[in-house]
Amino acid sequence: MLSNPVLALPDFTKTFIIETDASDKGVGVVLLQEGHPIAYISRALGPKNQALSTYEKECLAILLAIDHWRSYLQHAEFIIKTDQQSLVHLDDQRLSTPWQHKALTKLMGLRYRIVYNKGIENKAADALSRIQPQHNLDILAISTAQPVWLETISQAYANFPDTAKMLASLVVENPQGDYSLQDGIIRFRGKILVPPDTNMQLAIISTLHNTAVGGHSGGFVTYQKVKQLFTWKSMKKMVTEFVAQCQICQQAKSERVKYPGLLQPLPVPKFAWQVVTMDFIEGLPKSHSYDCILVVVDKFSKYAHFIPLAHPYSAFQVAMTYMEQVYKLHGLPEAIISHRDKVFTNTLWKELFRLAGTQLQMSTAYHPQTDGQTEESINVWRAI
């Protein structure tokens, strides 16, 4: 780590040196200490900056370095090395261009020295400024990995009449319906067709079930893993029988519950204040007799109301507060999403909004993320 060409950590007891350079297409900057690089910057120039003069481009490179590394440079004197000799007299020149005004404004308050550095000695920054176009890069070699078992499957097709006949027909006419031939492998709707070799099929199931990839995940999960890649006749039955005979799976206690279905996200509202979410912030220190906050968030626009409340509060008080603070501005929503707080589950609360025609949508047990939008608003309020 001491001798290899790696970036060094900054040492604030040593002098920082900045080497800058600009070309027609980009600028490059290097931050060094005692000849060892600490950081690099390379930026391409847009069409507007490409039209600048060489003096202005070199000045732009200095401004880029000052903006990026100001926290390193403001504690002590540092050195700026540039191959544009006219920039050495930047402090002594008469300010006649906007770039000179901008450069002196950025350098104001900093202790620095601008030193001329010959272009032949400015190799690192010069290389960073000369951005090569992507189309000039040549790919010399491409290597690919071919699994051994694919070759085994391809060779096994000839050992069975059905697959051998199908392989011969696909060679002549490819594809045929749902079947296709890719690199000697017969595929059915994109999945690899495994020949009727029991040992080969059991080896595939064992790989996707017994190894660390499978993790003895049970019959259903193992079948889904095999199904994603392979296909053969009576595959589900074979996978079920294989898992049923697995000793490790029999010793493990599995959950005897129905597999959960897909997540059912809440529908996206069509306009603002059609659906709102509600929650409470509790446990706050008292302020003007208030010690909790009712948070009401519009699900469409994310606009939020933070309404102070005081303990103890009832469902009637919360409903009246909602009417006075939110209803007068936005009206009643079509649905209110909340967790199963004792206030929200109160009979009065339900009856009030039933008569108003608003549907209450409460989260199920152990699923507080249903009202995650309000929880996020609470976290933002606490951060502020």
Percentage of residues of the chain with pLDDT beyond 90 = 3
CATH code that applies to domain 148-250: 1.10.340.70
Rounded mean pLDDT, 360-384: 54
Preceding amide of 37 cis, omega within 30: no
The average confidence (pLDDT) of the chain is 79
For residues 31 and 51, give the distance between their C-alpha atoms in angstroms, rounded to a whole number: 27
pLDDT for 143 equals 58
Percentage of residues of the chain with pLDDT beyond 70 = 82
The DSSP string of 311-366 is: SS--HHHHHHHHIIIIIHHH---SEEEE---TTTT-HHHHHHHHHHTPEEEEPPTT
- Element (DSSP H or E) covering residue 298: strand 292-298
pLDDT for 366 equals 46
CB of 152 within 8 A of CB of 200?
yes
Rounded mean pLDDT, 49-77: 85
- Banded pLDDT at 308 (limits 50, 70, 90): very high
For residues 249 and 128, give the distance between their C-alpha atoms in angstroms, rounded to a whole number: 59
Quick check: 5 pLDDT over 80?
A: no
Rounded mean pLDDT, 38-52: 85
pLDDT for 304 equals 92
Rounded mean pLDDT, 199-216: 83
Quick check: 84 pLDDT over 70?
A: yes
Chain centroid to CA 179: 37
pLDDT tens track for 317-344: 888 888 888 888 988 888 888 776 777 6
Read off φ and ψ for residue 377, nearest 5 degrees.
-65, -35
Q: At what angle do helices 347-356 and 315-322 cross, to 10 degrees?
A: 30
The DSSP call for residue 3 is: S
The two structure tokens encoding residue 303? 């606009």
Quick check: 127 pLDDT over 60?
A: yes
pLDDT tens track for 146-183: 677 788 888 888 888 888 888 888 887 766 778 888 87
pLDDT for 306 equals 93
The more confidently predicted of residues 97 and 246 is 246
CATH topology (fold) of 275-383: Nucleotidyltransferase; domain 5 (3.30.420)
Please compute Rg for the chain using Cα positions: 35
Show Cβ contacts of residue 95 under 8 Å, excluding neighbours closer than 6 positions: 101, 104
pLDDT for 145 equals 60
pLDDT for 142 equals 57
Name the nearest CA neighbour of 273 among 316, 322, 229, 230. 322
- Banded pLDDT at 360 (limits 50, 70, 90): low
Read off φ and ψ for residue 130, nearest 5 degrees.
-95, 85
Rounded mean pLDDT, 305-311: 91
pLDDT tens track for 215-265: 788 788 888 888 888 888 888 999 889 888 888 888 776 666 777 777 777
Domain parsing of the chain, residue ranges = 17-130, 148-250, 275-383
Quick check: 135 pLDDT over 50?
A: no
Rounded mean pLDDT, 86-100: 73
Question: Would 17-130 and 275-383 be classified into the same CATH topology?
Answer: yes
Amino acid at 196: P
pLDDT for 303 equals 92
pLDDT for 1 equals 39
Return the CATH number of 17-130, one of 3.50.50.60, 3.30.420.10, 3.90.550.10, 3.40.50.720: 3.30.420.10
pLDDT for 298 equals 92
